[in-house]
């Protein structure tokens, strides 16, 4: 029940555009293609596109590359003497400004490349270059660049002479420069987060703004009414030109921003743990959409249509590529007449993968020996794979796509250094790829496409969640690993009112989501369909698009007891070595425990024996040690056992004051060993309290004559016996 509630909540989040993972909707821009620097040791840092989206400029350390925007091929490679800090096309696309590392002594740190003649102009200028520190005037005649006095110089491009200066306001290096769309105002930002607003003639307007941290992007909106900026501290703020603060928002590690040319939209490039381009409503800074990247992002530029919509987005990736995100375009030959085996609407004479198994026809040799035309016999491991599973009252669809060798290599190169430059794809980088793919798709469209294509013989599917998982081909894989990347979309529905078997499930048509996800790069047809119920898989079948619908029957799986016993025995036999090793380990452990316990018991017994054998004595002067054993070599004195009453010691209590006692067999008697005490000789002068005659073991009996003491005697008839006492000094008979 709880799982259904959670699923329902997630569905409401998705269908209501309240995405639980990200607050904004998908921009519908998906990963499309990449450029190549032809130098694996370089990494892209800056990117710019000309006004008509025909040429892409990108920098790789000291190299400047010009790419064809249609096929991303390299047009020109220009080697610079020092590191490139910034590049920017003029508004008319005729010139490309290049800022390289320079000092006050070098006069060639600002260069102009003539795009019409494809050559570097001779005129040069010195400039203090920082990131995003150059900008063109709207007419393309002048260029604003940072100088060495914490200010800005306005340079006439035709002569490269300084015609104006904006100075005496910043205390640190200028890091951002941007003209208004009408060219009347200029905004500058510095290392400390200070923003200054200037008139075109170089006079300071008196308007200052403050952000936390280095300014990484600044500019005016399309109507020149507002100015905004982002900083390394994570602040994105907007002010009216007159100086009042309008909006403020926290963003994740912004490295740049751009205003739309026609719409009131602000685009912010975030380079945090989930790199993305964030689209904000300029009037209130609400998030409108997001484009997540499968790689790191260091710079961006875009080409927009007349209605303000983005057609192409270009990202510097910190690898040897510039990546392109766009609305999926139709493939070459789409819709043309001709035979089409895989029903992808591209004729086989144009299609380079006739059987749709993501293996190019010219390299398609993976087929049985008896098959001659391998390119028309799909490899079932590489075609799109759909597995249907019923788990309780849930239907789970695992829709797996396999990328081709070329596409897989591109993705691996992009993600390999997306988090750390270790040349290996980690789990964290793979998760970045998964999350970007899942967050860029329109979840509602994806789920509803499957929901509308499924029919059940009993009940129906409801709700729906989606998850993106890379099952293989990415983590710790080589660039040109022969196995392509496998990306799985897991869609889960609830079966309402409940699952009843047997159940017939019909997929009415082969759906394609290539218009809203990265799957436009992958073959979508044909599909290998299989099912799983109670952890039991069937062999599956190939499903061609031309066949129409397909029906899968789910039945209860009855397990035979004999089969179960055989299965258990097979598992035992197959794991016999592990079982024997476990038994031996357990036996050894029990043996050690028993030996240890026996050793403890033996030590206790030895201690007891030692205790019994040792003489028990106290180190006290008044304590008598344990008597020695009887020696038969000594003379035995026989003493008559007779009670002799003697005078009470005055120091002792009278019999009437003594505590009486009784022997009770039912009460336990605790016997506490007492030390023997030798009375003081002074006490014996008055005579003992009572004495008895007993056997004396060894030694002489010395009698001592004492004065007769009057005592009160009590006569009692006792039995007496005559005992002969022999001694060395006395020889008498006592009766």
pLDDT band at 419 (very low <50, low <70, confident <90, very high): low
CB 298 within 8 A of CB 45: yes
The whole-model pTM stands at 0.73
180-219 pLDDT, tens digit per residue, is 999 999 999 999 999 999 999 999 999 999 999 999 999 9
Query: Which pLDDT does position 635 carry in this prediction?
Result: 45
C-alpha–C-alpha distance, residues 591 and 601, integer Å: 15
387-397 pLDDT, tens digit per residue, is 999 999 999 99
State the alpha helices, DSSP H only, in 514-575: 561-574
Which letter does DSSP use for residue 140 in this model?
A: S
- Radius of gyration for the chain, computed over Cα atoms and rounded to the nearest angstrom: 50
Query: Which pLDDT does position 594 carry in this prediction?
Result: 87
Across-strand partners of 301? 314
Q: Rounded to 10 degrees, what is the CA torsion of 69, 74, 75, 80?
A: 120
What are the two backbone dihedrals, phi and then psi, of residue 445, each rounded to the nearest 5 degrees? -65, -45
Mean pLDDT over residues 690-709, rounded?
45
Query: Which pLDDT does position 105 carry in this prediction?
Result: 76
631-688 pLDDT, tens digit per residue, is 544 444 444 444 444 444 444 445 445 454 444 444 454 455 555 554 444 444 444 4
The helix/strand/coil state of 185 is: strand
383 CB-near residues (< 8 Å, 6+ apart): 355, 356, 357, 358, 402, 523, 526, 527, 528, 542
Task: Give the tokens for residue 318.
Answer: 């910190």
Whose structure tokens read 């703020």? 237
Which letter does DSSP use for residue 623 in this model?
A: B
56-71 pLDDT, tens digit per residue, is 999 998 999 999 999 9
pLDDT band at 577 (very low <50, low <70, confident <90, very high): confident
C-alpha–C-alpha distance, residues 167 and 147, integer Å: 9
Residue boundaries of the structural domains of the chain: 25-326, 380-562, 634-646+681-735
- Give the class (CATH, top level) of 25-326: mainly beta
pLDDT band at 422 (very low <50, low <70, confident <90, very high): low
What is the dihedral sign for C-alpha 510, 513, 518, 521?
A: positive
- Nearest by Cα to 347 from 360, 336, 355: 336
227-277 pLDDT, tens digit per residue, is 999 999 899 999 999 889 999 999 999 999 999 999 999 999 999 889 999
658-670 pLDDT, tens digit per residue, is 454 444 444 454 4
352: pLDDT strictly greater than 60: yes
C-alpha–C-alpha distance, residues 499 and 554, integer Å: 10
Least confident of 155-159, 433-437, 619-623: 619-623
504-552 pLDDT, tens digit per residue, is 999 999 998 777 789 999 999 999 999 987 777 788 999 999 999 999 9
551-576 pLDDT, tens digit per residue, is 999 988 765 555 556 667 777 777 77
Query: Which pLDDT does position 90 carry in this prediction?
Result: 97
Task: Give the tokens for residue 67.
Answer: 């790419």
Query: Which pLDDT does position 8 carry in this prediction?
Result: 42
pLDDT band at 628 (very low <50, low <70, confident <90, very high): low
Mean pLDDT over residues 460-480, rounded?
89
Give burial (CB, 10 Å; 0-12/13-18/19+) of 496: middle
CB 340 within 8 A of CB 488: no
Q: What is the mean pLDDT of the chain?
A: 81
Query: Which pLDDT does position 722 carry in this prediction?
Result: 52
Query: Which pLDDT does position 421 carry in this prediction?
Result: 57
- Proportion of the chain above pLDDT 70, given as a percent: 74
91-127 pLDDT, tens digit per residue, is 999 999 999 987 777 788 899 999 999 999 998 887 7
284: pLDDT strictly greater than 90: yes
Mean pLDDT over residues 584-610, rounded?
73
Q: How far is CA 700 from CA 15, 627, 657, in A?
A: 117, 17, 38
- Between 527 and 372, name the one with better pLDDT: 527
- Proportion of the chain above pLDDT 90, given as a percent: 53
What are the two backbone dihedrals, phi and then psi, of residue 104, each rounded to the nearest 5 degrees? -65, -20
CB 617 within 8 A of CB 625: yes
CA angle 588, 594, 599 (to 5 degrees): 125
34: pLDDT strictly greater than 60: yes
pLDDT band at 459 (very low <50, low <70, confident <90, very high): very high
Query: Which pLDDT does position 559 carry in this prediction?
Result: 54
Which letter does DSSP use for residue 629 in this model?
A: P
């Amino acid at each position: 029940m709880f799982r259904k509630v959670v699923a329902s909540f997630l569905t409401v989040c998705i269908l209501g555009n309240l995405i639980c993972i990200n607050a904004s909707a998908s921009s519908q821009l998906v990963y499309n293609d990449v450029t190549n620097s032809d130098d694996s040791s370089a990494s892209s840092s800056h990117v710019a596109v000309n006004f008509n989206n025909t040429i892409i400029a990108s920098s790789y350390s000291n190299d400047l590359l010009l790419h064809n925007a249609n096929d991303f091929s390299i047009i020109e490679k220009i080697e610079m003497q020092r590191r490139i800090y910034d590049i920017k096309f003029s508004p008319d696309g005729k010139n490309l400004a290049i800022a390289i590392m320079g000092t006050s002594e070098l006069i060639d740190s600002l260069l102009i490349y003539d795009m019409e003649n494809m050559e570097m102009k001779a005129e040069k200028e010195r400039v203090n270059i920082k990131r995003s520190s150059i900008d063109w005037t709207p007419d393309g005649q002048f260029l604003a660049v940072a100088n060495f006095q914490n200010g800005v110089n306005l340079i006439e491009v035709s002569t490269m002479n300084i015609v104006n200066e904006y100075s005496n306001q910043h205390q640190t290096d200028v890091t951002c420069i941007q003209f208004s769309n009408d060219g009347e105002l200029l905004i500058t930002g510095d290392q400390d987060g200070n923003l200054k607003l200037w008139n075109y003639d170089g006079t300071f307007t008196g308007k200052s703004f403050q952000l936390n941290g280095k300014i990484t992007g600044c500019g005016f909106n399309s109507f020149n009414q507002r100015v905004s900026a982002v900083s390394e501290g994570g602040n994105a703020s907007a002010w009216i030109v007159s100086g009042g603060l309008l909006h403020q928002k926290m963003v994740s590690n912004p490295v740049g921003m751009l205003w739309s040319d026609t719409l009131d939209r602000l685009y912010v490039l975030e380079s945090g743990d989930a790199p993305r381009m964030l689209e904000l409503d300029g009037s209130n800074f609400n998030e409108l959409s997001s484009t997540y990247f499968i790689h790191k992002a260091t710079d961006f530029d875009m080409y927009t249509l007349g209605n303000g919509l983005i057609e192409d987005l270009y990202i510097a990736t910190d690898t040897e590529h510039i990546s392109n995100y766009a609305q999926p375009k139709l493939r070459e030959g789409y819709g043309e007449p001709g035979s089409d085996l895989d029903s992808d609407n591209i004729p086989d004479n144009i299609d380079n993968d006739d059987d749709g198994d993501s293996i190019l026809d010219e390299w398609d040799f993976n087929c049985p020996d008896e098959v001659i035309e391998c390119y028309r016999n799909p490899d079932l491991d590489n075609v799109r794979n759909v597995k249907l599973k019923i788990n309780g009252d849930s239907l789970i669809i695992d829709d797996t796509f396999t990328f081709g060798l070329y596409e897989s290599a591109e993705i691996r190169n992009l993600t390999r250094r997306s988090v750390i430059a270790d040349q290996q794809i980690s789990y964290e980088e793979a998760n970045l790829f998964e999350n970007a793919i899942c967050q860029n798709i329109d979840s509602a469209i994806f789920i509803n496409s499957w929901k509308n294509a499924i029919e059940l013989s009993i009940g129906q599917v409801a709700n729906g969640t989606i998850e993106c998982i890379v099952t293989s081909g990415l983590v710790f894989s080589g660039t040109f690993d022969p196995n392509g990347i496998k990306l799985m979309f897991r869609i889960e529905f609830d079966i309402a009112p409940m699952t009843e078997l047997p159940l017939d499930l019909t997929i009415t048509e082969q759906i394609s989501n290539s218009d809203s996800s990265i799957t436009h790069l992958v073959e979508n047809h044909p599909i290998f369909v299989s099912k799983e119920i109670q952890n039991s898989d069937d062999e599956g079948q190939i499903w061609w698009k031309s066949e129409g619908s397909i029906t899968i029957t789910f039945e209860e799986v009855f397990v035979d007891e004999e089969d179960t016993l055989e299965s258990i025995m097979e598992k035992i036999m197959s794991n016999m070595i592990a079982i024997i090793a476990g038994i031996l380990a357990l036996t050894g452990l029990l043996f050690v425990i028993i030996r240890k316990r026996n050793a403890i018991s033996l030590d206790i017994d030895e201690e007891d024996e030692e205790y019994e054998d040792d003489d028990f004595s106290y180190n006290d002067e008044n304590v008598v040690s344990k008597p020695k054993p009887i020696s038969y070599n000594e003379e035995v004195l026989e003493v008559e056992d007779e009670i002799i009453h003697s005078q009470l010691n005055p120091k002792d209590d009278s019999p009437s004051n003594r505590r009486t006692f009784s022997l009770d067999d039912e009460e336990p008697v605790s016997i506490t060993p007492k030390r023997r005490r030798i009375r003081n000789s002074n006490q014996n002068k008055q005579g003992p309290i009572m004495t008895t005659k007993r056997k004396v073991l060894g030694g002489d009996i010395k009698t001592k004559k004492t004065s007769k003491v009057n005592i009160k005697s009590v006569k009692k008839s006792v039995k007496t016996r005559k005992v002969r006492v022999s001694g060395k000094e006395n020889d008498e008979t006592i009766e």
